[in-house]
Structure 1
Amino acid sequence: MFAIVQGISLAGLLAAASLLLARQFDTGISPLIFAILLGLVLGNAWPRLAQGERQPGLEFCKKRLLRLGVAFYGIHISLQQIAEVGTGALLVDAVMLLSTLGLAYWLGRRWLGLDAPTSLLVGAGSAICGAAAILATEPVVRARPQQTAVAVGTVVLFGTLAMFLYPLIYPWLGLSPRAMGIYTGATVHEVAQVVAAGSAMGDDVAQTAVITKLTRVMMLAPVLLVLGSWLGRKSGTRAVRAPLPWFAFGFIAVVLFNSLVSLPPLWRDLVVQLDTWALTMAMAALGLGTQLGGLRAVGWKPLALAATLFLHLAIGGLIVTHMATSWL
Structure 2
Amino acid sequence: MSEAPQIGAPLSKQRQAIEWFHLHRGGIILATTIALASSFLDEHYGAPAMLFALLIGMAFNFMNETPRMAEGIAFCARDLLRLGVALLGLRLTFADVSQLGITPIIGVAVMLVLTLLGGVLFARLFGRSTAFGLLTGGSVAICGASAAMAIAAVLPKKHLKEEDVLLTVVGVTAMSTIAMIVYPMLFKSLGLADIESGYMIGATIHDVAQVVGAGYSVSDTAGDIATFTKLLRVALLPVVLLAVTIIFRKESGGTAGLPWFVVAFIILMIVRNFVPLPEALLSFVNDASRFLLVVAISALGVKTSLQKLFAPGVKGLVLIAVDTVFLLAQAIIFAHIFLL
Distance 1:88 1:318 in 2: 15
Matched-pair contact (CA < 8 Å) for 1:122–1:134? yes
Partner of 2:172: 151
1:241 to 224, 244, 254: 254
Does the C-alpha gap of structure 1 residues 295 and 235 become closer, same or farther in structure 2, counting only changes over 3 Å? farther
Alignment of 1:132-147 (within 5 A): 133-134=143-144, 137=147, 140-141=150-151
Does the C-alpha gap of structure 1 residues 232 and 211 become closer, same or farther in structure 2, counting only changes over 3 Å? same
Matched-pair contact (CA < 8 Å) for 2:135–2:168? yes
Are 2:230 and 1:217 equivalent residues in the alignment?
Answer: yes
Matched-pair contact (CA < 8 Å) for 1:122–1:302? no
Are 2:139 and 1:121 equivalent residues in the alignment?
Answer: yes
Partner of 2:267: 253
Partner of 1:227: 240
Cα RMSD for the two superposed structures? 4.4
Q: Deviations over 1:45-85 (max 9, x none)?
A: xx3x125xx67656655665555444334334332211123
Amino acid at match of 2:58: L
Matched-pair contact (CA < 8 Å) for 1:146–1:294? no
Are 2:267 and 1:267 equivalent residues in the alignment?
Answer: no
Are 2:89 and 1:89 equivalent residues in the alignment?
Answer: no
Partner of 1:130: none
Q: Secondary structure at 1:244's aligned position in 2?
A: coil
Amino acid at match of 1:81: D
Does the C-alpha gap of structure 1 residues 212 and 104 become closer, same or farther in structure 2, counting only changes over 3 Å? farther
> How many residues are treated as equivalent by the alignment?
299
Amino acid at match of 1:151: V
Distance 2:35 2:240 in 1: 32
Matched-pair contact (CA < 8 Å) for 2:175–2:324? no
Alignment of 1:47-196 (within 5 A): 47=65, 49-50=66-67, 65=80, 67-104=82-119, 106-108=121-123, 111=126, 113=128, 117=135, 119-124=137-142, 133-134=143-144, 137=147, 140-141=150-151, 148-170=169-191, 184=200, 189=205, 190-196=211-217
The structural deviation recorded for 1:111 is 2.9
Using structure 1 for the length normalisation, give the TM-score.
Answer: 0.67
Q: Secondary structure at 2:99's aligned position in 1?
A: helix
Using structure 2 for the length normalisation, give the TM-score.
Answer: 0.65
Distance 1:319 1:76 in 2: 30
Partner of 1:300: 314
The structural deviation recorded for 1:243 is 3.9
Structure 1: which 5+ runs fail to align?
A: 125-132, 200-205
Distance 2:196 2:80 in 1: 35
Distance 2:105 2:33 in 1: 36
State the identity as a percent.
Answer: 19
Matched-pair contact (CA < 8 Å) for 2:57–2:300? yes
Are 2:322 and 1:312 equivalent residues in the alignment?
Answer: no
Q: Deviations over 1:145-204 (max 9, x none)?
A: 88545423211213322222333343xxxx8x699658745655324434545x6xxxxx
Q: Secondary structure at 1:85's aligned position in 2?
A: coil
Distance 1:164 1:107 in 2: 28
Distance 1:167 1:311 in 2: 18
Does the C-alpha gap of structure 1 residues 246 and 235 become closer, same or farther in structure 2, counting only changes over 3 Å? farther
Partner of 2:6: none
Partner of 1:128: none
The structural deviation recorded for 1:317 is 2.4
Partner of 1:19: 35
Q: Deviations over 1:89-138 (max 9, x none)?
A: 334444334433543455357637457655533333xxxxxxxx446546
Distance 1:218 1:163 in 2: 19
Amino acid at match of 2:25: S
Amino acid at match of 2:184: M
